[in-house]
Structure 1
C-alpha cells in the first residue's frame, strides 16, 4: 500500500469515526501561588546541553551557552506572548554551574539573570528549571543522586542556594524555581526515602536565602505521577510551592518515531500515524504502516532491518489492545487529584510540568495531525478542568516535539496552538 493511500485511508477512517472543585478548605493554610504560571511552554535551547571543551570532552567550555545554537529571536518570544502563554519554563543545565569557578561562573549567573529579564520584559513569567543531562558523566544525575553525601550532590545543594539568591534578587513575583527535573531514582523504597531527604534539603537551601520565592517540587520515579504520590508534602506546609508531575502516556503514541535502544522503546522508531484514541483506526492499517516504516528504514540501511517487523507490530498491537482514550487520561489525573486531596493541597498548586507528543514535520515521521490534536487537547482540557497549571514540551529543539513550525523557525504551529487553547495568528 502506498504512503499516499495509507494516509488517505487513515484520514477517511478518522473523519468517519467520530474534579476536583475544592468543596472544603485545605487542612492547613499555605500561601497561594502567584498568578502567571497557568499556561506555559518549555524553552530547552538557550541554557541547556552546554558546549564542551574541545580539548577535553569531559568538561564544559568556559562559555557553554554562547553561539547561534543557544540564540532565541525576539520574534519567537513575541509570538509566545501573543499566543497567550503566560510563562516559559526555562531549562538550565546545572553541569556548567557545578564545574566553572571564578569569573566564568559569575558570567553564567549574569547570563541567567539577563535571560530571565528578557522574558519578563516581554510580559512572560519565568520558571527556571534545573534540568540535568547525561553528556558529561561527572554531572549525570544517575551518578550523584545515589547518596546524600556525594560531593557533587553537596555542590548541587550549594548551587541551588546560590541560584535561589540570584532569582530572588530580581525582585519579581513572576519568577519561580524548579529544583530538579525528573529525578532518575525512586523505583524502590530506599531511593524513594533518599529523594525525600534530598528534596527537603534542596527546599531548605532555597528558603535560607529566598523565603518567598515560588518553588516547584517533584517526586522521584522520573518525575511522573507515581513519584509525586510517593512524596510526603508535610515538610513543605506553609511554603510557597507547586507540586509537579510529567505526563507522556501512552509512550507508543507520544514517542512515535523516536530512536531509542532499550526494550520496547527500541521499536518506537517504526511507529507513525499511531491512532488516538487507540480504537479510532482499524488495526490492519496501523500494522501496515509499521511494516512499511521498517522496510523504509531497511532500504536506507538504518534500524534493525526487516526482522524487526514482527516485534514492532507486536508492540503496536499491544498499544491498540489498551483502547487508550480520554477516560484513561482522566483516571490518571484523578490519581493526582486524590493525592492532593489526601494532603490538603489546593488543586491550583498542582503543576503538569511537561506533556507533549512528536508530530510529523520536516524530517520527523510521527503523529498524524488529527490524533496529535486530539491527544494534546484532551490532556490540556483535563488538566484545566482540575485547575492544574501546565507547561507544554517544548518550544523547539530537535526530536519532533516542537511548538515552532519548523526547527529554527519563528512561527508557531497552528494545530498545536489550537489544541492548547491558545490564540492563532
Structure 2
C-alpha cells in the first residue's frame, strides 16, 4: 500500500468510521461482564520459542479450571503474529501452528473462561508499523484472515485485540493504523467485540488522545503500571534505571525512601527515587490517575478495560506489592473498568513462583478480590 493510498484510507475511516458493526447499540452487557476480571497468559504464544512442545504443553485444562474457580472471568492470550503470519503471504495462516492455537482456545473456553486474542509482537514489528505502509497493509490482511478464522467461535466469549502497546510516538499515525486494523478485523468477524488502545505503550495518556471509531462494538483499553519506580524495580528490560532501583516502597513513606536510597549505588537512580519520595503515590493518587481514563470513557460513552497491571516480583517487598494490587483493583472496579492482571506465571505472577510452583498465591488472590 503506497503512502497516498494509506492516507486516503486513514482520512476516510476517520470521517466515516468503521463499517460492519452488527451492534449499533454498543458492546452487549454480558460481554462486558466477561471482561470484568482476568489474567494474562504470558510466555506461551508470545515471548517464547515457537516450538510445538511449548505451544502444546505449557498449560493444562486443570489450570484453566482452577482459574475459573477463583472467580476469574477471562484470560488474555498474547499472540506473536509470527506464530501464524508470513509477510510473503499475509492472508494465509500457518497451517501447522493454527491447530495449536485452536487447541489452546478450546481448552480455555471449555473451562468457561472467555479469551482475548491479542497481537503481541516484538518491538521491531511495531517499529515497522510506525513507518512502513506496505507492512501495515500486510498485517491488516493477516488480521482479516485471523478474524475470519476466529469468527466461527462464540462472539460472547472470544474478543479480538488489535495490537499490544503501540509506541509510535505519533498518535495520529497510530490512530490511522489502528482504524485500518479495526476495519480489517470487522470485515473478518462482523459480530465479535474488538479491543483498541492508544499510543504510548497503551498508556492512559495515549488513550485520552484517541478519537473513538463509529463502530460501537469496541472496548477501549489501557495498561497501568504506575508508578514504574515501584512496579518495575529490578527489571532488566525497558528503561535502564529500573535495574538499579532497590527497596522502593508503596505507598510512599519518607523513612522507607531513605532506606531505599542506601541500597542504590547508581547516582541517577538515586535521584529518581529521591524524587519519587516526594510524589505522594498511594491509593488516592492511583484513583486520581484512573479518573482520567474514566472521564474519557464517560465523555465518549464507550466501555473501558485495563488488561495489563501488575508488579514485578523479583525484589519488591511482598506486602507493598499486595497493597498496590489491591488499590489498583479496587479503584478499577469502583469505576466499572474491567481488568486483567499481568501475569499468570511469569515475573509478575499470580502463581507462587512462576512456572516453578504453579499453585495460586493466596495473598495475590485476596488482593484481586478472588477466592
Do Structure 1 and Structure 2 share a fold, with TM-score over 0.5? Answer: yes
- State the match for 2:138 in structure 1: 155
Partner of 1:71: 58
Q: TM-score, normalised by structure 2?
A: 0.86
Matches within 5 A, 1:193-212: 193-212=172-191
Q: 2:209 aligns with which of 217, 230, 241?
A: 230
Which residue of 1 is the match for residue 321 of structure 2?
Answer: 372
Distance in 1, matches of 2:367 and 2:108, equals 24
Distance 2:75 2:109 in 1: 10
SS at structure 2 position matched to 1:49: coil
Instruction: Give structure 1 regions of 4+ aligned residues with deviation exceeding 4 angstroms.
Output: 100-104
Judged with a 3 Å threshold, the aligned counterparts in structure 2 of structure 1 residues 85 and 280 are, in CA distance, closer, same or farther, namely: farther
Structure 1's unaligned 5+ residue stretches are: 1-27, 52-63, 295-307
Q: Give the gaps of 5 or more residues in structure 2.
A: 1-23
1:240 to 198, 214, 217: 217
Listed as ranges, the matches of 1:191-340 within 5 Å are 191-233=170-212, 235-237=213-215, 239-260=216-237, 265-279=239-253, 281-290=255-264, 294=265, 308=266, 310-340=267-297
Query: Is contact 1:217-1:243 (8 Å) kept?
Result: yes
TM-score by length of 1: 0.76
Q: Is the 8 A contact 1:40 1:86 kept in 2?
A: yes
RMSD: 2.1
Q: Deviations over 1:293-334 (max 9, x none)?
A: x5xxxxxxxxxxxxx2x3332222111111211111111111
SS at match of 2:308: strand
Q: Identify the residue that residue 173 of structure 1 maps to in structure 2.
A: 156
Rounded to whole Å, the distance in 2 between the matches of 1:335 and 1:216 is 19
2:365 aligned with 1:417: yes
1:385 aligns with 2:334: yes
Distance in 2 between residues matched to 1:39 and 1:75, nearest whole Å: 19
2: distance between equivalents of 1:31 and 1:319?
39
Q: Secondary structure at the match of 1:81?
A: helix
SS at match of 1:98: coil
- SS of 1:390 mapped into structure 2: strand
Deviations 1:156-207 (A, max 9, x none): 101111111111112352110101111111x3xxx22121211111111122
What's the CA shift for 1:267?
2.7
Deviation string, structure 1 residues 60-100 (Cα, Å, up to 9, x no partner): xxxx2412476113332232112111100000001232228
Q: Contact conserved, 1:109 with 1:166, CA < 8 A, in 2? A: no
| Candidates 332, 337, 344, aligned match of 1:395 | 344
Give the one of 97, 104, 107 matched to 2:96.
Answer: 107
Change in CA separation of 1:312 and 1:44 when aligned onto 2, cut-off 3 Å: same
* CA distance in 1: counterparts of 2:54 and 2:188, whole angstroms: 34
2:345 and 2:358 in contact (8 A); partners too: no
Larger-Rg structure: 1
User: Residues 160 and 193 of structure 2 are in contact (CA less than 8 Å); yes or no, is this contact kept in structure 1?
Assistant: yes
8 Å Cα contact 1:272/1:368 also seen in 2: no
Q: Deviations over 1:215-247 (max 9, x none)?
A: 1011111111111111101x334x311100011
- How far apart are residue 214 of structure 1 and its match? 1.1
CA distance in 2, matches of 1:200, 1:248: 26
How many Å separate the matches in 1 of 2:178 and 2:339? Answer: 21
Q: May I ask how many residue pairs the two structures share in their alignment? A: 342
C-alpha change, 1:103 and 1:248, in structure 2 (3 Å) is closer
Label 1:231 to 1:99 Cα distance change in 2 as closer, same or farther (>3 A).
same
Q: CA 1:82–1:337 in 2, change beyond 3 Å: closer, same or farther? A: same
CA contact (8 A) 2:27 2:219 kept: no
How many angstroms does 1:49 deviate by? 3.0
Identify the residue that residue 93 of structure 1 maps to in structure 2: 80
Deviations 1:362-405 (A, max 9, x none): xx2x21121111110000000000000001001123xx311111
CA deviations 1:229-275 (Å, max 9, x no partner) are 11101x334x31110001110001000111247xxx32322323311
Aligned to 1:24: none
The Cα offsets for residues 270-301 of structure 1, whole Å up to 9 and x where unpaired, read as 323311111264432222233xxx5xxxxxxx
- Aligned twin of 1:4: none
